[in-house]
Structure 1
């Protein structure tokens, strides 16, 4: 039997508005992002809930949270919008420059991404890369709605990977870095508990590495950190650490060039338990364009050089 037609009263504006409110957990923020009034956003969400016949958001909390029905609708709405965007892009590709939209976490920005972008740029003037950075949850939300073609970085927690595929490229640990000449570097018998004396820059609670960092610190009895600065900004972390006695806890890839050039120094800490996979995250329900597949191959090649291995061509 053929599927019943979609209610014609459900418009694209309903879907777009719903996805933004779900992504930001806020009517106010969604209104700013969509450049419409807050009452207009509220009315649009109410209309959609009436049309689908159920509440999509739990309004009992300060931030709007999806109900179980809303969570299901979010996944299908995101998939539908992404498919529509891919269709529009496919029609336009024959006459326009192809842009590969890449979500990149800071961990790959210093070592893997520059080489990949350089190699991809040599393929001709009809392709370009657009690099979008931000927290992992934000980038995955863009991937789910088709606003980016792929995400490069650490693998997210399993509950956030529904509908996504992950291709492991290499593994990476967390490091603790300080400025050259830091007092901790002069300690003849360094012990991890010594960092409690100094201000600590920690990854934000929603970052991919925060859980592994918390587990490592707790396992080593570190409970009194002066961790009153939380950041995933590599520019701020780098500047602040070089100007103060702060200890910066961050993914190794973010500061690899800094430590190689002697601008920052890693403390002699065994952080092996924080090792995690870094790779490519893509959608399972849509294929990649030729340009996106080419960019992914450039990333694989750059990652293989980082590992010091020979890459076997896979496309």
Structure 2
């Protein structure tokens, strides 16, 4: 069968984003385009293929049988293209191997810097290409072959299909504020809606846990809420006003240690979750991956991230 003429990279990227996020609006937000624009792109792709790839409904979109088939091969094709582009870039730079590592923000701020430092000190193994982003997106990239490994939270069951997970430690979220904040020292979340709140966005791995925390404390809608996964913005915004930043402990571990920020004494054990190494299941790891994950385990063993206190 001939490849349908007219299919472009944007068609594949849009289709895969919609399939992963389950909706046109979320996919449009992630790709930085309007909802009508991504809807038009999907329609163009279906017309080029002569097949209906997705069923649209009030609850979002779902893949048809043809869509499931196309998703598999579209992901492989996109991964192969990225491999080719990486190969060209490596040839220009004189490097022959690249290890692509996805890191959730909490480990990118705590575990990965030391692991990368040791990796360079050992002077062996591939050049590291470290990226951060939403957990679901990185796991999707891992499954498609665009990443070799993801260090982060255990994904939801549907996100872990075809992947293997090895736990390193457990982590929970913290509610952090600037020095002198009005809520400092309070364990009662009833006043939380009075303040600006930085909340994990819908694609964040900790979002479901944080929502459970809110329900458990009888908090409904938070009126002055900003959703973000940007550590730089979160830190600057929290230090500049009376905001409460809900974030993984690993992201702010150094801020808490040097008292740049302070954690509210709130019981967040309900948000406790495993952090570990995700790889593609049934695939023998390359030597470069074996070396790097060994370094990561060594760093975790020596740093011993703080476990939640028993109350």
Give TM-score scaled by structure 2 length.
Answer: 0.80
Counterpart in the other structure of 1:312? none
Counterpart in the other structure of 1:252? 249
Pairing 1:118–2:111 present: no
Using the alignment, how far apart are the partners of 1:186 and 1:143 within structure 2? 41
Counterpart in the other structure of 1:70? 67
Point out the more displaced range, 142-151 or 116-125.
116-125
Out of 263, 266, 270, the residue aligned to residue 269 of structure 1 is 266
SS of 1:183 mapped into structure 2? coil
Out of 15, 28, 33, the residue aligned to residue 22 of structure 1 is 15
Counterpart in the other structure of 2:192? 195
Paired positions, count = 292
SS of 2:164 mapped into structure 1? strand
Q: Structure 1, residues 81-136: CA drift from partner, whole Å, max 9, x if none?
A: 6579779989x999843111111110101111111111112232762111111112
Does the aligned pair in 2 maintain the 1:104–1:133 contact within 8 Å? yes
Does the aligned pair in 1 maintain the 2:193–2:223 contact within 8 Å? yes
Point out the more displaced range, 175-184 or 58-67.
58-67
Q: Structure 1, residues 14-44: CA drift from partner, whole Å, max 9, x if none?
A: 5966541223336988798xxxxx9898655
SS of 2:100 mapped into structure 1? strand
Q: Kindly tell me: are residues 282 and 79 of structure 1, through their superposed partners in 2, closer, same or farther at Cα, counting changes over 3 Å? A: farther
Does the aligned pair in 2 maintain the 1:154–1:277 contact within 8 Å? yes
Q: Kindly tell me: are residues 193 and 44 of structure 1, through their superposed partners in 2, closer, same or farther at Cα, counting changes over 3 Å? A: closer
Unaligned runs of 5+ in 1: 1-6, 33-37, 310-315
SS of 1:47 mapped into structure 2? helix
Pairing 1:300–2:301 present: no
Displacement, 1:10? 3.2
RMSD: 3.6
Using the alignment, how far apart are the partners of 1:230 and 1:30 within structure 2? 17
Using the alignment, how far apart are the partners of 2:222 and 2:252 within structure 1? 21
Counterpart in the other structure of 1:183? 182
Does the aligned pair in 2 maintain the 1:198–1:247 contact within 8 Å? yes
